Amino acid sequence: MQDRKANSANSDTSEFSRMIDAALSRRQFIKGSMSAGIAGFFATNPLSQAMAAKSPKLNFEPVAATTADTITLPAGYQWDVVVRWGDPLFKDAPSFDPSGKATGTSQTLQFGDNTDGMSLFPLGENRAILAINNEYTNYDLLFHHGGKDLTKDDVLKAQHAHGVSVVEVEKQGGQWKPVVDSRFNRRIHVNSEMEMTGPAAGHRHLKTDADPTGKKVMGTFNNCANGETPWGTYLTCEENFHGYFGTESDHKETADELRYGVKTRNKHYNWHLHDARFDFAKNPNEPHRHGWVVEIDPMDPTSRPKKRTALGRFKHENAALYVNQDGHVVVYLGDDERGEHLYKFISKGKYNPNNQGANRNLLEEGTLYVARFSMNPGQLAGSGEWLELTHGKNGLTKANGFADQAEVLIFTRRAATQVGATTMDRPEWVAIHPSGKQVYCTLTNNKHRGVKEGQPVGGPNPRKANHYGQIVRWQPAKGDHTSHTFSWDLFVLAGNPVVHRDLYGGSNNIDADNMFNSPDGIGFDAAGTLWIQTDGNYSNEGDFIGMGNNQMLAANPETGEIKRFMVGPKGCEVTGLAFSPDMKSMFVGIQHPGEKSTGSHWPDGGNSKPRSTVIVISKQDGGLINS
Ligand code: FEO
Ligand code: CA
Ligand code: CA
Ligand code: CA
């Protein structure tokens, strides 16, 4: 056991320790073989103690797990629909057609499908621009034929259901609704023109017959989570781009194609059947033009989105941006795949708060790093370092297969392996505490951990065949986000303490009342409460019994306390989070209710088709969220 006093950060620490001790004894956390290492980790970890300032209380009665086909909230809270898949954004848009026979053109005028990460850009007290990702689409809901008889227009409709929706929202009569035909409204999709920027722009690996410059690319898709900049732009992150490329030829994949999951046998979306751009045997460089972070100016509907190659190419989850004390812009980035990595970008230039126009290209140039964590067995805390991904350094040389910096960025995953990065349990969202002291990342699950070669059990990935997930957090050395070293611990190990009494039962802040699996979306509110959204197994059976549908929880980062705040409808994932500036409205995304024939009719009830939907949550008394 470490000496708590030796790690005391301030006078609140002893009070904090008393709270932890009380919490621990209340829960009587005693579990299996590694229990000593885990049971104490909140009480003794120096990171917790350094954070021990004012705790953000969780001021609501938690809700029970449920499999109900609705939104379940604590007493005193209410929810309302803001915008659903297929809702018109323009006055000439048709209304949603649930038959599955709507056209590709209609979908360009409507809100996209499968809502994900979002940011709110305020225009006034009761008006804002919502920039929001439409990650993908479910063919069994999109088409009357379920995708079996795909026509050219069907492919267009699917492509137009993807991308980003920019929509003005306004609070009218106490309810947030889209402003149809607002001059800000815009659909960005698979066929929208955008620009490649940064070190890889124009590289030979990015040139295609349609674009011999390697600088003009059409579209963005599988936009998962997001980020936003202090200069007012939206960052959308391209995640599972590989699944859209296919071929009918007997093409033998290259090692780089396989590393990114681009496979000849991909037959899920079948865009290549009607759009040769997605036949990667014919257009081997087209996949290189996807898997980036894209910067969008939501205030200017005519602006061209910019793909920022300096931030690397992988299956980007989100982009958590922080302006460091010295003005450098730091962006933390997860690559959501079993055994892939966690990254950090540091801008070359510095943020200028007095000249926002000068900040516009800060993400064009900088240095990318990848994380290596200490791996001491049985320890759920340790140290780590950021390894630089710059051509000519750390073995990133021509002899090792990297001709130049563009190749380091286009094949970022291979570069990360070359420098010895830690393989992670699927890094999803990263969130930075408002104080800037700590950074949190969800590691959603990983059935390959301890099973596949190169994915050893240990460090922040402590469980073999991890089907519950965890949240790791780290603290940059001296509070400087440009530092090359950090210390880390686990904030929570999700698990099921009813079924398991070992590490799979979860950490000491998990009990039968708040258990969940597969943390994914996370974000802090201004008061420092951590909100956790899940994308997990909603069978409510076996290892997942008692967890119910996917959900959203709130956590106190200082004490580790976690309470369930919301449960979503059947078959959904809860993903995407934004607050109004007055903290009275919380926007939450409900993605794919009713997927896999789970029988949802949410949000419209009756026999209606389930629809991906953005909701807004508020207090019935008009107070602040969590007040
Ligand atoms: Fe689209 Fe990793 O979630
Ligand atoms: Ca996600
Ligand atoms: Ca996920
Ligand atoms: Ca999803």
Q: For residue range 237-275, what is the model confidence (pLDDT) as tens digits?
A: 999 999 999 999 999 999 999 999 999 999 999 999 999
239 Cα–ligand 1 center, Å: 7
Compute, in angstroms, the gap from residue 148 CA to the centroid of ligand 1: 26
CA dist., res. 245 & res. 221, Å (int): 12
| Nearest ligand to the CA atom of 427 | 1
> 444: CA distance to ligand 3 center in Å?
6
Paired strand residues for 396: none
Distance CA 245, CA 188 (A): 20
**pLDDT digits 0-9 by tens, 540-552:** 999 999 999 999 9
Between the CA of 445 and the centroid of ligand 3 the distance, in Å, is 9
Per-residue pLDDT band at 533 (split at 50, 70, 90): very high
pTM of model > 0.85: yes
**For residues 122 and 556, what is the distance between their CA atoms, to the nearest angstrom?**
27
Strands (E), 54-180: 77-84, 115-124, 127-134, 163-172, 175-178
Rounded to an integer, what distance in angstroms lies between the CA atom of residue 120 and that of residue 108? 21
CATH, domain range 5-239+291-619: 2.120.10.30
Radius of gyration of the chain (CA): 23
Instruction: Name residue, tokens 């205030």.
Output: 299
Please give the residue that has the higher pLDDT: either 14 or 555: 555
Pick from 54-63, 68-77, 182-191, 604-613: least confident: 54-63
Task: State the closest ligand 1 atom to the C-alpha of 222, by its place in the atom list counted from 1.
Answer: 1
Residues with CB under 5 A from ligand 3 (ion): 444, 520, 535
Question: What would the DSSP string read from start to end of 264-289?
Answer: TT--SS-GGGT-GGGBTTT-TTGGGG
pLDDT at 11 over 60: no
20 versus 93: the higher-pLDDT residue is 93
Would you state the pLDDT for residue 56?
Answer: 83
The yes-or-no verdict on residue 52 having pLDDT over 60 is no
Using the atom order of ligand 1, give the atom closest to the CA of residue 135: 1
| CA-to-CA separations, 465 to 104, 240, 538, 550, in angstroms, rounded | 41, 22, 18, 21
In the predicted model, what is the mean pLDDT of residues 420-449? 98
Task: Indicate whether 7 pLDDT > 60.
Answer: no
Mean pLDDT of the chain: 92
Q: Which amino acid residue places its CA nearest to atom 1 of ligand 1?
A: 224
166-200, pLDDT tens digit by residue? 999 999 999 999 999 999 999 999 999 999 999 99
Look at residue 3 in the predicted model and tell me its pLDDT. Answer: 30
What is the CB neighbour count within 10 angstroms for residue 125? 10
Which letter, b or e, does each residue of 248-286 get, where b requires 16 or more Cβ atoms within 10 Å of its Cβ? eeebebeebbebbbbbbebeebbbbbbbebbbbbebbbb
State residue 302's pLDDT score.
Answer: 97
Ligand 1: residues within 6 Å at CB? 135, 224, 239, 317, 336, 428
**Hey, is 155 helix, strand or coil?**
helix
Structure tokens at 41: 């980790």
Domain edges within the chain: 5-239+291-619
Binning the chain into helix, strand and coil, the percentages to the nearest 5 are 15, 30, 50
- Rounded Cα distance, 169 and 92, in Å: 18
* Distance from residue 503's CA to the centre of ligand 4 (Å): 26
The two tokens of residue 532 are 């956790």
Q: Could you tell me where the DSSP H helices lie in 28-131?
A: 35-39, 41-44, 46-50, 104-108
**Ligand 1 atom nearest residue 426's Cα:** 2
pLDDT, tens digit (0-9, with 9 covering 90-100), for 449-493 = 999 999 999 999 999 999 999 999 999 999 999 999 999 999 999
Atom of ligand 1 nearest to the CA of 336: 2
Is the pLDDT confidence value at 423 over 90?
Answer: yes
Q: What is the pLDDT of residues 346-383, one digit of tens each?
A: 999 999 999 999 999 999 999 999 999 999 878 999 99
CA of 347 to the centre of ligand 2 (A): 25
Ligand 1 atom having least distance to the Cα of 444 = 2
Higher-pLDDT residue of 52, 440: 440
The predicted-structure confidence for 212-241, as pLDDT tens digits, reads as follows 999 999 999 999 999 999 999 999 999 999
* Segment 287-314 mean pLDDT: 98
pLDDT number for residue 23: 30
Least confident of 54-58, 280-284, 394-398, 560-564: 54-58
For residue 54, what pLDDT is reported?
58
pLDDT of residue 513: 98
**Token pair of 539 as six digits:** 């069978």
Q: Quote the ligand 2 centre to 131 CA distance (angstroms).
A: 17
Residue pair 459/508 in contact (Cβ under 8 Å)? The answer is no
